Structure 1
């Protein structure tokens, strides 16, 4: 049925529910679960306007990348605790919907399982959520939880 299930994770409750559903599907068909966390690149201008001033100089991209890794590792632990078998976790930067779709193609995912609402901003309400964009643009079947 499914060989590779891609689960985009952003740290939200909805994403975790989607992950647990993917674990259920994995148990039925023996697929590999691939966790993907996407963080958005910040320009130098956005970086310089940040209200956060760390004691050690660090770019916003580096902080976002580190946080994305923490989210991915936490999701991997949650899936393992729920009884997941084969599971891998990745972190990418870029526009979330496009990165998810490209990653699904690159890794030949048979199914994308994602939460209906994540940690999106006001931009998500105005321009459409990531789940909406992925379902509209992906050639890979999408299960929205």
Structure 2
């Protein structure tokens, strides 16, 4: 029986679909849902103080967005939902969080990149599928 589900949420349409799928599975299995958003720390700024300020703003915006998720899609499951904003490489942070919290299923949206683009650009969902310790459901 599945007890902990992780959704990687970035506000995209596919991540919203991932939330809907997590909701269904949470109801089916009476599972806890963890919703995380990852802020990438790399940016074009050389001034650390400027970038730190922008990063803090992004974290605050992401926290507000996750509060909306809690009060929206999961309003009646609030005791079973955990939200968190992380800073780092998205694929690595998703896998690390999943392992640290004994997640049994990761649900993530695919950006819909073709094989050629994925080869050159990389893909968060591809990275998570390759490195996760648990099953990954990719929403296309």
TM-score over 0.5 for the alignment?
Answer: yes
TM-superposed CA distance for 1:128, in Å, is: 1.9
Q: Find the counterpart in structure 2 of residue 76 from structure 1.
A: 70
TM-score scaled by length of structure 1? 0.80
- Name the TM-score, length of structure 2 as normaliser: 0.83
Following the alignment from structure 1 to structure 2, what is the Cα–Cα distance between the partners of residues 91 and 125?
A: 28
Moved over 3 A (4+): 123-126
In the alignment of these two chains, the number of paired residues is: 133
Unaligned residue ranges in structure 2 (runs of 5+): none
The answer to whether the 8 A contact 1:47-1:59 is kept is: no
Distance 1:72 1:125, change over 3 A: farther
The Cα of 1:40 is off from its aligned counterpart by 1.1
Q: Which runs of 5+ in 1 are unaligned?
A: none
In structure 2, the CA distance between the partners of 1:105 and 1:60, relative to structure 1 (3 Å rule), is same
Q: Distance in 2 between matches of 1:67 and 1:10?
A: 11
Out of 116, 120, 135, the position equivalent to 2:129 is 135
Partner of 2:28: 28
Q: Is 1:106 aligned to 2:100, yes or no?
A: yes
Question: Does structure 2 retain, via aligned residues, the 8 Å contact 1:47–1:60?
Answer: no
Greater share of helix: 2
- C-alpha root-mean-square deviation of aligned residues, in Å? 2.6
Query: Is 1:35–1:76's contact at 8 Å kept on the other side of the alignment?
Result: no
